[in-house]
Structure 1
Amino acid sequence: MVHGSRSIGHYPTPPFARPPAAPASCLGRHRASASFQWFLGDGGDPAELVSGYLEDNGLGVRNIGRTATQVCPTGAGSICGAALYVSADAGSVMAGAPLGAASPVPSIPDVYAVVYAHDSGPTEPGFSSDFALGEWTPSWTPHEHAAAVSEVRQAIGRGDVYQVNVVGHTSAPYTGDPLPALGRVAALPGARYGGVLAGSGWALATASPETLVEVRDGRIITRPIKGTRPATAAGRRELLASAKERAEHVMIVDLSRNDLARLPGVGPVEVQDLFAVRRWSGLWQAESVVSAPIAGRLDLAGLLRALMPGGSVTGAPKIAALGEIARLEPVGRGVSMAAVGWIGPGHLDLGLTIRTVAADGARLHAWAGGGIVWDSDPEAEVAEAAAKLAPIKAALSPVSPQRSPN
């Protein structure tokens, strides 16, 4: 059975971290009025079901981006827009791809949409400072991670795939209120989608810099990121000079172009800013911009089916890469490598949930990985994943030493 309109439970939206991609002008004034939930096993088409829910709640998702962007209303009680989260597993269902291992956060819905109204003014934080974090426990060892990279290289050698994104998971027990720590994650430098989304007994925080899809002012845009080095002058030079990183990046750009071209109602696809180097926290990353004009009717359900899961966190060809991911990763991706963002009047902005953390009431969960191609070095890939996790772990550490939970 599909879950429909619901009241909002245990975790409120933190006033200091708006829902990802929500308007800055509404910071601290979001009041969640009702939500939609869908879990694996509920049945039906999740893309169609969530689209119907949002349309019924006054958001025109059956024809996105064909009108000029409207200004968000600001009066108390007015609808500002909606947050939307779609898990990696839900994306695989939408794509008709195989599912992998079970999610380590099964209490978090696979599709979650929240319609937000405005309160009369900003609210004050009401969170406890009592927070302690235990030791992180990875779901695989560095040796097992490296072995998975080697298996992908073998699959590439057989011609089964060209590239596969391999992701590892780690978790740690906590006590107390995690929301201030999640707010620190959302505030990491370079987080285009920095924010916190919460439901009954769970929350996720993202510091993602990567756009899965943006629809605004008559265009559809995706900004794939692939290629990472330390944020030093030497690291920037090395990234720009790396033939391996550039080839991996261009492969995902081509996949993104093909995904956009599959959409009805979209004009010629263009690539801008190919392999532009951007900074996220302590890392350089290569980003490109792929876009197309909206020439006809663009429906949210069709958009999700065409783009989920994102190409930069799956691989090429996408369905074959998802098969390798299902075979190799011992723990499900949960809230990571998924999509979260905002739907407002006349626009949509969803980020990929890389650099993302989940709290499920007992443990914090984080994921990191990277794209594997034929000339990937297993040990270097393991080190890259650790480098991506380091700022997340640092942000989650309690501000002052406290007794860790068992």
Structure 2
Amino acid sequence: MVHGKSTERMSTNRPDVVEALPQMVVDPPAVPTTCRGRLTERARWQWRPTDGGDPAAQAEEFLTAHGLHLHDLARPAPTHDPDGVCGAALYVSATAGTLMAGGTPGPPSPADLPDLAVVIYAHTDTPPPTPPTAGWWRGPWTESWTPHQHATAVEAVRHAIGHGEVYQVNLVGHAAAPYAGDPLPALARLGRLPGARYGGVLTGPGWAIGCASPETLIEVRDGTLTTRPIKGTRPATTAGRTDLLTSAKERAEHIMIVDLERNDLARIAATGSVRVDDLFAVRRWCDLWQAESTVRADIADGLGLADLLRAVCPGGSVTGAPKLAALHHIAALEPVGRGASMGGLGWVSPGHIDLGLTIRTAAVDRESVHVWAGGGITWDSDPEAEVAEAAAKTGPVRAALR
């Protein structure tokens, strides 16, 4: 509860509070450890579908114009300049990824955010101070669909699978809540959840994204492409781990997505180099067990950032198989757009690209805080179990945003 003068300030989202978001200490996901805490924004570019053009190509051109040459990722990385441009945060929404893949975009996003953002950072010895916070109040959540509507969508996917239209479709639900005050400490708290390989916050004028993702969408380092799809979830108990390891349904669903990711990498890899280094490894995120695999390949000569994004976005573990057919059903069944979730967020530089898949992610615009969660649907899916799994995944995210 807020008392005294703070109540007056938090009663509405005043423009000075929202517009202060970009002034926070820089902490986007996957920033090189040696550069964390000593970065300052140099330039930014944002894109929405109404802007037109090819967002992947435009992002690569913007980076090139600021000295970050990512048109041939197979080339040896230049020496990191401690006094110059360090790299850039890159955010790609699920909608932008769908358009890059040639898929059908779904309903509009409920969150007022750009669909692609590139923020160039340089080194500094005097990072901007964090502005004083205004406290934080979050109202009750409003769900984008009821449990019954979610279960009905699961049945619709099973029907499509039965007719041979798809093998698997990932369904995602959304919830929003009003807020007042400064959301950044809550988003930063989200980014510090245990197992958040891509923990951090990216801000823009009137918006911010907080990420606690454990999943690698794509990493490029030393000539190697790596993706780590996660598919399969159970409570983090001894029984839950045993159940996940012995579930034929979860293993089949997981291997299907691994095959999809192998196919995605094969489009941009040296011929015959795609391999699975770790299959169905069970790891912990907060109070959940999750199954993760590691797929790697040698990078093809001449591969640029734009073609890399077109090949891997949106991620297979949050779409389904075949990917374009799954995207068609997602667009028809989900009541609202995926916004900041199920996209990519991380760091790009000539020698280091590391993008996390924006699961376990929240976003704020000028009015609301937004969260998303879902799961992969196969023929063996039980609607009630799928609804419960989505609730389990969003639980730690919502708890961090109290």
Under a length normalisation based on structure 1, what TM-score does the superposition of the two structures give?
A: 0.92
Alignment of 1:245-324 (within 5 A): 245-263=250-268, 265=270, 268-324=273-329
Aligned to 1:218: 223
Cα distance in structure 1, aligned partners of 2:224 and 2:193: 28
Aligned to 1:93: 99
For the 8 Å contact 1:266–1:294, the answer to whether it is kept is no
For the 8 Å contact 1:10–1:199, the answer to whether it is kept is no
Alignment of 1:73-222 (within 5 A): 73-75=81-83, 78-105=84-111, 107-121=112-126, 124-222=129-227
Structure 1 gap ranges (5+): 1-7, 398-406
Aligned to 2:52: 43
Superposition deviation, residue 129 in structure 1: 4.7
For the 8 Å contact 1:197–1:203, the answer to whether it is kept is yes
**2:22 match: secondary structure:** coil
Superposition deviation, residue 65 in structure 1: 4.0
Aligned to 2:73: 64
Cα distance in structure 1, aligned partners of 2:23 and 2:362: 15
- Count of paired positions: 385
Q: Residues 244 and 363 from structure 1, CA distance in 2 versus in 1: closer, same or farther, beyond 3 angstroms?
A: same
- Which digits, 9 at most, give the CA deviation of each residue in 1:116-158, with x for residues without a partner? 0122145543331511110011010011011100110000001
Q: Compute the RMSD of aligned alpha carbons.
A: 1.6
Q: Residues 46 and 266 from structure 1, CA distance in 2 versus in 1: closer, same or farther, beyond 3 angstroms?
A: farther
**1:60 match: secondary structure:** coil
Cα distance in structure 2, aligned partners of 1:50 and 1:355: 25
For the 8 Å contact 2:23–2:128, the answer to whether it is kept is no
For the 8 Å contact 2:375–2:389, the answer to whether it is kept is yes
Aligned to 1:361: 366
State which drifts further: 157-166 or 294-303: 294-303
Aligned to 1:5: none
- Which digits, 9 at most, give the CA deviation of each residue in 1:345-399, with x for residues without a partner? 31201111000000002110000000000000000000000001110111111xx
Aligned to 1:29: 38
Cα distance in structure 1, aligned partners of 2:134 and 2:243: 42
Identity %: 61
For the 8 Å contact 1:13–1:196, the answer to whether it is kept is no
Tell me, yes or no, if structure 1 residue 231 matches structure 2 residue 232: no
For the 8 Å contact 2:40–2:127, the answer to whether it is kept is no
Structure 2 gap ranges (5+): 1-17
Under a length normalisation based on structure 2, what TM-score does the superposition of the two structures give?
A: 0.93
Superposition deviation, residue 27 in structure 1: 2.1
- Which digits, 9 at most, give the CA deviation of each residue in 1:22-78, with x for residues without a partner? 11222222211111111112111111111111111111210114315x664333xx2
The amino acid that maps onto 2:76 is: T
The amino acid that maps onto 2:81 is: P
Runs of at least 4 residues of structure 1 off by over 4 A? Answer: 264-267
Superposition deviation, residue 14 in structure 1: 3.5
Alignment of 1:342-357 (within 5 A): 342-357=347-362
Aligned to 2:13: none
